[in-house]
């Protein structure tokens, strides 16, 4: 790769071994993809995971004196103080979250602890070159805003934050953003939950090609697109999609395929959504808890839950994972009081895939997110998956 003087200086250790390691990794990635050069990034987001590899890598960079040139927003681990109030946190889990927070503070990250930075705090403009990790974020950045990022790992995005550059390849280039397969949506897309199922099932038919959806509602809410992207990137590796008439690089079908004819086409029917739903969800019966906010809920979603439980008592505990900003809004707007009176709560700055939820292991929950169910398999949690409204009804009854 051709490096600038400054990039070469970073690689040669002028800014310390941490920055040199970050640049070395980026050069290796660039060479794997035959990138000619690096390009400056204006925003970054790191999918902090508070797991061993995450901590090992950020501490290694910090020990090498690395400081971010482009401060990244970061994903949630868990809210230690909150969970210490409702359960027991093992000393090793307390130690790792404290070290994670400290390491990201030292490296100069913006400590948002939120997995939807694209809705608050880190919103790019069209065409902006960025480096985002987090599976719900990369499709939103690329597809909804038309900004540009590759599907970064947490570690490669952190390298970009430290060096301020990323190798120029993949989705950063015009020609790689062309739609590759037409997805005719015959299924009725009526609510946000249908976007979850559509997102999860599409890669089963399209593989890893860039899908171009046609036949979709023309003014979807951010929550619908958040769901679509999160599931596309969980059911498959889809970090860029187009919706004809909705997303900025797909004003028309021709636009989405950059003037070429679609070489392939698949159809998605109501039957496809139904079969996907049946394959994803637990059979049902008695449930032990309800868990929402994968990705973090917006204030609109919190409001939906609050209105459904207002003045009622939940049969099982219910948590909504969300950002500190949404938590503050929920307090001001009275939703938190309503939730708590019903036996629910907000879990701020927290991800479902964290050891703080140990008291739910081996139990069955209800959620609206296939992604939530997929990643908690390691934690022996099973889930009935339903629309948000149905999930809340199930939590009120305690069974489905």
Partner 1 sequence: MLVEQVFSCHKISEGKASGEVLFSTDDFCFYLVDPKTGIVIEKNHCLEGRSIAGKVLVFPNGKGSSVVQADGMYQLKMNGTEPKALIIKNPDTTLVASAIIMETPMVDRVEDSFYTAAQDGDYVEVDADKGTITVRKK
* Interface positions with partner 1 (CB under 8 A): 25, 28-29, 31-33, 47-49, 51-54, 56-57, 75, 133-135, 138, 150-157, 159, 170, 207-208, 233-234, 236-237, 371, 375, 377-378
Pick the closer one to partner 1 by CB: 191 or 382: 382
Q: How far is the CB of 218 from partner 1 (least distance, A)?
A: 29
Given the complex with partner 1, which of 170 and 245 has the nearer CB atom? Answer: 170
Closest contact distance (angstroms) between CB of 378 and partner 1 is 7
Reading the block at residue 241, the tokens are 């999609």
All residues at 6 or more sequence positions from 284 whose CB lies less than 8 Å from its CB, including other chains: 384, 399, 400
State the minimum distance, in angstroms, from the CB of residue 192 to partner 1. Answer: 20
Q: Which is nearer to partner 1, 190 or 377 (CB)?
A: 377
Distance in angstroms (rounded) separating the CA atoms of residues 360 and 347: 14
Answer whether the bond into residue 295 is a cis peptide, omega within 30°: yes
Q: How many CB atoms lie within 10 A of CB 234?
A: 23
CB of 186 to partner 1, least distance (A): 26
Q: Rounded to 5 degrees, what are φ and ψ at 382?
A: -115, 155
DSSP string, 271-306: HHHHHHHHHHS---SB--EEEEEEEEE-HHHHHHHH
Minimum distance, C-beta of residue 240 to partner 1, in the bound complex (Å): 12
Give 26 or 214: the residue with its C-beta nearer to partner 1: 26
Q: CB of 161: closest distance to partner 1 in angstroms?
A: 13
Nearer to partner 1, 77 or 344 (CB): 77
Q: For residue 322, what are the contacts with CB-CB under 8 A and spacing of at least 6?
A: 293, 296, 297, 298, 302, 330, 346, 347, 348
* Cβ contacts of 273 within 8 Å, gap of 6 or more: 187, 194, 197, 198, 201
Is the CB of 46 or the CB of 299 nearer to partner 1? 46
């Amino acid at each position: 790769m051709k490096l600038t003087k400054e990039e070469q200086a970073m690689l040669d250790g002028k800014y310390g071994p941490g920055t040199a390691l970050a640049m070395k990794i980026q050069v290796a990635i660039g060479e794997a993809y035959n990138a000619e050069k690096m390009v400056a990034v204006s925003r970054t987001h790191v999918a902090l995971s508070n797991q061993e590899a995450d901590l090992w890598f950020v501490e290694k960079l910090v020990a090498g004196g690395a400081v971010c040139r482009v401060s990244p927003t970061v994903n949630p681990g868990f809210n230690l103080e909150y969970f210490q109030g409702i359960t027991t946190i093992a000393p090793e889990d307390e130690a790792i979250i404290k070290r994670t927070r400290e390491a990201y503070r030292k490296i100069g990250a913006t400590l948002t602890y939120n997995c939807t930075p694209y809705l608050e705090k880190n919103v790019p403009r069209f065409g902006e070159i960025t480096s985002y990790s987090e599976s719900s974020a990369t499709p939103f950045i690329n597809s909804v805003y038309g900004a540009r990022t590759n599907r970064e790992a947490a570690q490669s995005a952190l390298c970009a934050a430290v060096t301020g550059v990323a190798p120029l390849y993949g989705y950063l280039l015009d020609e790689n953003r062309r739609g590759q397969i037409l997805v005719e949506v015959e299924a009725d897309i009526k609510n946000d939950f249908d976007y979850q199922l559509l997102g999860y099932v599409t890669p089963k038919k399209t593989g890893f090609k860039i899908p171009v959806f046609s036949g979709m509602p023309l003014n979807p809410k951010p929550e619908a697109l958040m769901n679509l992207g999160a599931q596309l990137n969980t059911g498959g590796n889809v970090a860029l999609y187009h919706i004809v008439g909705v997303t900025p690089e797909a004003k028309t079908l021709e636009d989405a395929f950059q003037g070429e004819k679609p070489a392939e086409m698949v159809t998605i029917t109501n039957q496809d959504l139904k079969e996907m739903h049946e394959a994803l969800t637990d059979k049902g019966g008695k449930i032990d808890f309800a868990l929402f906010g994968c990705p973090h809920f917006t204030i609109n979603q919190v409001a939906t839950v609050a209105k459904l439980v207002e003045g009622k008592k939940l049969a099982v505990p219910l948590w909504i994972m969300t950002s500190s900003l949404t938590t503050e809004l929920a307090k001001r707007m009275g939703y938190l009081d309503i939730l708590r009176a019903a036996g629910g709560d907000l879990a701020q700055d927290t991800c479902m895939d964290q050891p703080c939820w140990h008291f739910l292991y081996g139990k069955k929950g209800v959620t609206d997110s296939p992604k939530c169910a997929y990643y908690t398999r390691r934690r022996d949690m099973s889930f009935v998956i339903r629309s948000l409204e149905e999930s809340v009804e199930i939590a009120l009854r305690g069974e489905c």
